[in-house]
Amino acid sequence: MFKSKNMHEITWRKCGAFFILGLILALAQAPFNLSFTYVVVLPFIGLYVRDVKSAKLGFVIGWWLGFGYFVLTIVWIVEPFFVTPEVTGWMAPFALAGMAGGLSFFWALAFYVTVCLTIEGAMRLIFLALCWTLFEFLRANILTGFPWGHLSYGLIDLPIIQLTAWVGIHGLGLILLIVCFLPAILIPRFRLGIFLLGATLVVLSILGLWRSSSLILPNIKQTIVRVVQPNAAQHLKWRSDMVDIFYVRQLEYTSIKEKEKPDVVIWPETALPQLLENSPLIFQEIAKAAGPNTSVITGIVNKKNNKLRNSLIVINPAGTLDAIYDKKHLVPFGEYMPLVDIMNKLGLSNMVGLAGNFKPGQISRNISVQNFPDFIALICYEAIFPEYSSSSTNRPEWIVHITNDAWFGSFSGPYQHLVQARVRAIEQGLPLVRSANTGISAMIDPYGRVLKSLELQTAGYFDHILPAALPPTLYAKIGELGWLLIFCFLMFFCIKSIFKRSEH
């Protein structure tokens, strides 16, 4: 595959080639959405790994492939460092390299384990798909978890994304890998492999189209939702001369009269400029702007027992609170600094102060009020975790996602965050409504389709009737168990094959 004296030796040229392949693979993610890169890059990777003999080389190519992929996919993480560039701007390249390099270890370990435990041949590629999926699952869950940029999200504009309603992102990722490895699995019948790859994708696409072909009706209560987007740039959001401007802008959008009066208005994360305990008069003002019979969902900072919490509240027409939810999954290094004691002992106490001092909440994210349908509350980062959109108690009728994507810049972060929210809707079969400070705010139906939206970095609002929920999806009922059963079934036969070959 590579022009070198020994295909099993590690060279900088080879590392660079896999880094570039990782970059190309990342073009499937938003905002590029070039899904076809999967059927170009993944078969090539399969062809190469099939014959690799050195586990060390497997680790190296997995790491460089991942490094290229994550450098481009999560390049948006440099944006928060440039909110105050004179203080933290210098950290940006180190943060990107460190984060991308760390995430790449999961891919590297998947390749390493595969080459260690298998011999060359078709079975190795099935085993690689399983290991890759397993380590992606670990990436999504250990050390607080970070499932951002999963391969499945690169399929958002294709009907095949509907399979997440049955097997979630990890199950779809496993299917994608096995299908794209078919040409390499079927060597020397390469053309047959190409045909089966294309035919399988067509069948899966037809299945996705069939699932999403039903007409979505309005919910029984005919609930009308207004979504407000103030477009408060992060470097201006808390500036003393701008705070009132953004607040008044949200009030004005809330008070605008349309033919159909909204039942609920949604403001974004931390939309209110005061602590919750200091805001009773503001609640009255918001209720007056919304008018009778209209509630307002908004984000606010809540101080309890001298500890800050990032909260979502529901303000009723009387100007009092109907519900409150405190964000449970905080952003490490953003809303809090992990391993504070260790960092202080290492003399890095000055770094600790760069993160927020928020504490996680304990209140259920299931919100039930009287004048509009029950919903699941998600605040910003929580929307990237599939398990947070499910409910073990009474099933809600929709998902509300408030966020401040101003932190993510305008290149890729907000678009990728929207994609993940869309997949949450598909997984649960629930409509999802998101209000994002600078965008992209959207009304999303249970099939993940954007019905109405506000463009990035624009101020405005829209009204839209809330779609009806679908019956619970298979994924909503059994979660990760679906793909884990498939995983265990295939892994059993892989291990059985490995032991048989070792006996000979």
Q: How many CA atoms lie within 13 A of 166 on its CB side?
A: 14
User: Residues, the chain, total?
Assistant: 504
Chain centroid offset of residue 188 CA: 38
pLDDT of residue 7: 60
d(CA 356, CA 336): 5
Residues with catalytic roles: 269, 327, 380
pLDDT of residue 340: 53
Beta strand 441-444 with 432-436 is: antiparallel
pLDDT of residue 83: 78
> Closest Cα partner for 73 from 21, 16, 30?
30
Q: Where are the domains of the chain?
A: 12-213+479-503, 224-469
pLDDT of residue 6: 56
> Closest Cα partner for 314 from 333, 331, 337, 290?
290
> Closest Cα partner for 114 from 503, 498, 501?
498
pLDDT of residue 356: 62
Q: Which residues pair with 139 in a beta bridge?
A: none
Structure tokens at 461: 């609002």
Tens-digit pLDDT string for the chain (504 aa):
444 445 667 788 889 999 999 999 999 999 999 999 999 999 999 999 998 889 999 999 999 999 999 999 999 998 888 877 888 888 889 989 999 999 999 999 999 999 999 887 888 999 999 999 999 999 999 988 999 999 999 999 999 999 999 999 999 999 999 999 999 999 888 889 999 999 999 999 999 999 999 888 888 889 999 999 999 988 888 888 999 999 999 999 999 998 899 999 999 999 998 898 888 899 999 999 999 999 999 999 998 888 889 999 999 999 999 999 999 888 887 777 665 555 455 454 444 344 567 888 888 889 999 889 999 999 998 999 999 998 777 889 999 999 999 888 889 999 999 999 999 999 999 999 999 999 899 999 999 999 999 999 999 999 999 999 999 999 999 999 999 999 999 999 888 877 766 555
pLDDT of residue 119: 82
pLDDT of residue 354: 45
pLDDT of residue 349: 42
pLDDT of residue 358: 83
> Closest Cα partner for 271 from 304, 297, 293, 307?
297
- CATH number belonging to domain 224-469: 3.60.110.10
Neighbouring C-beta atoms of residue 109, cutoff 10 Å: 20
DSSP character at residue 119? -
